[in-house]
Amino acid sequence: MEGFVQRITKSFFAQKTVEIRRTSVIIGSDSETRVSKNETGGDALKKLGVINLGSTSTKVAYFEDDVCVFSDSISHPAEEVKQFASNWDQYDYRKSRIVEFFESKGVDIAGLDAFVSRGGHTEPIHGGVWRINEKMLEESRSMKYGNHVSDLGMRIAYDLAKDKRSAYIVDSPCTDEFEPLARYSGLPEMPRQSRFHVLNHKACGRAFCKDHGLDYNQVSLVVAHLGGGTSVAAHKNGKLIDGDNGLEGDGAFSTNRTGALPVGALVDACYSGEYTREQMHRKLNGLGGMMAYVNDNDVLSVYNKGIAGDKQCMEVIDAMVYQTAKSIGAMATVLDGKVDAVLLTGGIVHNEYIVEQLKKRVGFIAPVYVYPGEREMLSLGQQTYYALIGKEEVFEL
């Protein structure tokens, strides 16, 4: 979800509490009652198309039941994308590439039982499987809650689905399950927001529970996603009750984002006349963090320089670990110290040194487990399959 969630309208989040949409509909017949696997076609194989639109690529996967048969990434070179004035202008371009990909694999799109896309921007909702409908698409198209090419993904999934009730999103980036106390910031007009790597956070939590025979809805976890952005969140009984804003100025710094900054110095910089509003946002998200210190946002590159003798590079790595550990500790207090496990995920945890240093600092809280990379496509496909067979609820705006 790197660089994903855009600024939410100030007027909406100026409220002390946020009303989260919770309309529940169970997938099945037109009467919208729960159905068993037999009522959805017996033991017939469920075939799913999965898409995840990013700024320069589209991830595509095909599932049979909860098994990913194949997945790939379609590249969109900058010279091709820049010809479009907006994300929405890419509709025909992106859709045709997706259709071509499935056809090249011999997949009959008309024969798919469901299409699922990474979520786009809507009003805040809780996590889970949501049916894409016209209201959701209208909110997404309005850009009231943000703008990203994944908004277009929902439209494409809806149009490619065999009917208008078999297109879905899972664990939307607009998921908001914060508890009331988590929203306080110190200024009522600036409440803390739920904005981080929700899809991968929940996927990692579910993967851990599956590995250990646990119920995700009955455990307390601290999950840290370390990638281009870092976000640490407290998971309690299946809900993300508090977490760092992984996009704009919260928590630990990452490879190219600043994390939390000294507020006074930030205010002075904003009014210095040296930077435009856009330039300041770029410093916070894109040119901050590790990039600002050593002019490099590649963790492996910086680490290799460090072990080769570059003391500044090594210190920046250690400082990033230090700040991430502080965030993990903070989220442990949200759970009253009753933490079943600390989970590390994201691309950065492929680095063994970083993992070992984090374990040294936070291992006293709870056992630490590592889930390198991301599980977004797997989560999109599997959670939708579970909805199709009646094991997961389906919600609608």
| pLDDT interval class at 38 (50, 70, 90) | very low
The tokens for 263 are: 């507020």
Return d(Cα 395, Cα 348) in angstroms, integer. 34
Is beta strand 230-236 parallel, antiparallel or unpaired with respect to 239-243? Answer: antiparallel
Cα separation, 343 vs 307, whole angstroms: 26
**What's the pLDDT score for residue 42?**
53
Query: Matching CATH topology for 10-178+378-395 and 204-373?
Result: yes
- What residue spans define the domains of the chain? 10-178+378-395, 204-373
With tokens 């460090």, the residue in question is: 306
Six token digits for residue 148:
């990203």
Nearest of 180, 181, 227 to residue 204 by alpha carbon: 227
Residue 35 has pLDDT above 70, yes or no: no
Q: Tens digit of pLDDT for each residue in 151-203?
A: 999 999 999 998 888 999 999 989 999 999 999 999 999 999 898 889 999 99
DSSP label at 252? S
Contact residues for 85 (Cβ-Cβ < 8 A; gap 6+): none
Order the strands of the 114-117 sheet from edge to edge.
Answer: 24-25, 394-395, 129-131, 167-170, 114-117, 47-53, 57-64, 67-75
pLDDT of residue 248: 73
Lowest-confidence region among 40-49, 58-67, 285-294: 40-49
Query: What does DSSP assign to residue 296?
Result: -
How large a percentage of the chain has pLDDT more than 90? 77
Q: What is the mean pLDDT of the chain?
A: 89
Q: Which of 162, 127, 132 is nearest to 21 (CA)?
A: 127
Does CATH place domain 204-373 in 3.30.420.300?
A: no
User: What single DSSP character describes residue 44?
Assistant: P
DSSP code at position 97: H
DSSP classification of residue 186: S
Rounded mean pLDDT of 377-388?
Answer: 97
Calculate the CA 170 to chain-centre distance. 10
Strand pairing category for 114-117 and 220-226: unpaired
Is 176 within 8 Å of 123 (Cβ atoms)?
A: no
Please name the CATH architecture into which domain 10-178+378-395 falls.
2-Layer Sandwich (3.30)
Task: Record the pTM.
Answer: 0.83
- For residue 6, the model assigns a pLDDT of 37
Positive/negative CA dihedral, 106, 28, 168, 342? negative
